[in-house]
A and B are shown apart, each in its own frame.
Chain A
Amino acid sequence: MTTYQYTDVVPAPRRPWDHSRSTMIRTVTLIVLAGLFGSLLNKFTGLSGFLGWYVGLAIAVPVIAFVGSARHGWNIASDRIATSLVSVAFATVAIPWVSIFVEVYKKGSKAFHASYLTDDMRITPSSDALQYGGVAHAILGTLLMVLIASLIAVPLGILAAVYIVEVKGRFAKMVRFLTQAMSGVPSIVAGLFIYSTVVIFFGGFSAIAGSLALVILMLPTVARTSEEVLKIVPDELRSASYALGATQARTTFRVVLPTVASGLLTAAVLGVARVVGETAPLILTSSYFVAKSTNIGEPIASLPIYIFSSLGLGDSNATTRAWGGSLVLLGVVFILFAIARTISTRLRRK
């Protein structure tokens, strides 16, 4: 028999299972001890430099984790070892990426000077001192070729997506599959193809050939992203338009596409980000040129080829210029990425 009495006194909420402070102390101790072991290994064995540190840490961390938790039993000990190994693996994976960002910035900024982004290499050999010359021709060339490629690839990609999602033709599944297959074409093969057709036919390298090679590489990305974006549009929207007597053409162009306009823009930006750094196809199609140019029928400079050819010269100034170009290219990719993410978060917020 129970009667219940209510109390108004509410105790403070607790989290008795929360051991985050002791976990943090444990983790810090672990890292310090492992670091000590790594430095010992570094000094006293043949494993020197970075390798010594890394091997030391990689061995020490799970071992110390094991020793420290053995008293709790194998269940908890294996869990702690697993945690430590996964964390070490992640840190390992992050090191090269951090190194790339840091080195590109450090070495690339050495090539920068006031007019770096506006000068070209028309009168400056690569081995000259770094305050001469710049990357303007490369930036211009890349911009030009990517622009032409976009003008072709973006509409085609969106139309392919429209075919798959809206028109749903007989070949829809095949088109989808082939677009995915096309994304696996190696970039050099795309360049080889354009070489075997456009370059041979017109008798020389040209910017337009380069653009066409980029189209092949850009199309699958644009098509796939557009398809995902179009699939999100609810059918009710289309039904409403049809119910008002609109044709499929009008429904697609006036109702569906405007709804996902920012998504399609993201698809275009992602496509651009994909091809802006491609080197191999351009070796075979647009080659290289040392001056700023807007002549699409002639060879033209591009950021990736600028980097690649400067590096190939072996001279230390030329190599620094290559790093400088890399910094510019990385910056471009970064900006494109930021744009794509801003558009897509704004799209999601709507």
Chain B
Amino acid sequence: MQTLETPPDQREIRAYFTPVDKVFRGFVSTAALFSLAVLVLIAAFLLYRGFEIFSDFGMKFLTTSKWEILNPEDASTATFGIAAMLVGSVITATIAIVIAVPFAMAAALFIEYYSPKFLRTALTALLDLVAAIPSVIYGIWGYVVLLPLVEDWSATLNKYLDWIPIFSVRTPIFGRSPFLAGLLLSIMILPIVTSVAREVYSQAPRELVDATYALGGTKWGGIKTVVLPFGRSGLVGGAMLGLGRALGETVAVYLTLNLVFEVNFKILASAGGNVASLIATKFGEASAYEIKGLMAAGLVLFLVTLAVNFMATVIVNRARKIV
């Protein structure tokens, strides 16, 4: 048999697109890059409009908490600092995550492993529906229905647990507080976190769960040994998606948290705020300079949520790829 000593030269195959297709591809590419353009433009415009604030205040914008402008016409009388709002964003979002994640895990396990077969599709659809409830409806429910209940609960918590610093208050007035806002946020992010968790838990390999049964395990043994470790990264990704939403939530926080420009760790006290609700509150009567301050605050919020969502997407995609 004849053997080739050297393989023949490879011929280059090039795809030539017809003029029609060149136009088509160009058109589609332009449209697709619109999303890139928008993101860049958002950052650019917020920076452009808010730049003056950063040059006037520098890092103090992020580290101080006073927000006032004594004379709306005179920019030099302004003191803008969003530290209290940044801390408030973190506190409310943290409360939301701490409450939501365990319940989301349990709800996802319930839907996927404990609910009767016929209910499963209905519950999954219901979950999607609840995720679509607009935030303003959560807001009005939180303000009218949840607020009186939480006032009660905060009083009780304060009565028995005020030796823990975060549960103590300076004045025993409970109402719109970081606790209420955090609780409402947790209810709002529960559907998305539960959805992601449920999807990941449903993909745990059945053969491994069977193996645990063959070793004399119970259903809970199988879940603990196989499903939960398997779903860990997916759960983290879902939690971060929820975190991103909680950080940027406006209306719900506006209605349930009293805006006070002071860093406040006492979650039962009636003071706090997050960056988004700051913007919504101050916007109505803001002078031109104050609007610039709000733009700067918006830029900070934009960058923070972008970072959180970026990490979340990476984690969720990696979890999906393992499957």
A residues apposed to B, CB below 8 Å = 46-51, 75-76, 78-79, 82-83, 85-87, 89-90, 92-93, 96-97, 99-100, 103-104, 107, 155-156, 159-160, 162-164, 166-167, 169, 171, 174-175, 177-190, 192-193, 196-197, 216, 219-220, 223, 247-250, 252, 273-274, 276-280, 283-284, 304, 307-308, 311, 319, 322-323, 326, 329-330, 333-334, 337, 341
Contact = CB atoms under 8 A, between A and B. Distances in A.
A87 B255 contact: no
Contacts of B38: 182, 216, 219
17 contacts: A50-B149, A86-B106, A90-B106, A93-B103, A160-B35, A167-B32, A174-B36, A180-B313, A189-B305, A196-B46, A216-B42, A249-B20, A279-B139, A279-B250, A279-B251, A307-B136, A337-B132
A248 B294 contact: no
Nearest to B134: A277
Interface of B: 17-18, 20-21, 23-25, 27-29, 31-36, 38-39, 41-42, 45-46, 48-49, 102-104, 106-107, 109-111, 114, 125-126, 128-130, 132-141, 143-146, 149, 152-153, 156, 159, 187, 190, 194, 216-221, 223, 244, 247-251, 255, 276, 279-280, 283, 294-295, 298, 301-302, 305-306, 308-310, 312-313
A153 B134 CA distance: 20
A108 B107 CA distance: 29
A192 B35 contact: no
Contact of B141 (A49, A100, A185, A189): A100
A186 B302 contact: yes
Contact of A274 (B126, B132, B223): B132
A82 B136 contact: no
B251 A280 contact: yes
Contacts of B146: 96
A89 B115 CA distance: 13
Given A159-B27, A178-B36, A193-B46, 8 more contacts: A86-B109, A159-B31, A163-B28, A187-B248, A283-B280, A311-B140, A326-B136, A337-B128
Given A90-B107, A280-B276, A104 B32 contact: no
A79 B298 contact: no
B30 to A, nearest CB: 9
A184 B218 contact: no
Nearest to A304: B136
Contacts of B137: 100, 104, 277, 307, 326, 329-330
A327 to B, nearest CB: 9
Contacts of A171: 29, 32-33, 36
A309 B98 CA distance: 32
Contact of A189 (B42, B107, B145): B42
A326 B110 CA distance: 30
Contacts of B106: 85-86, 89-90, 93
Contacts of B139: 279, 308, 311
B28 A47 contact: no
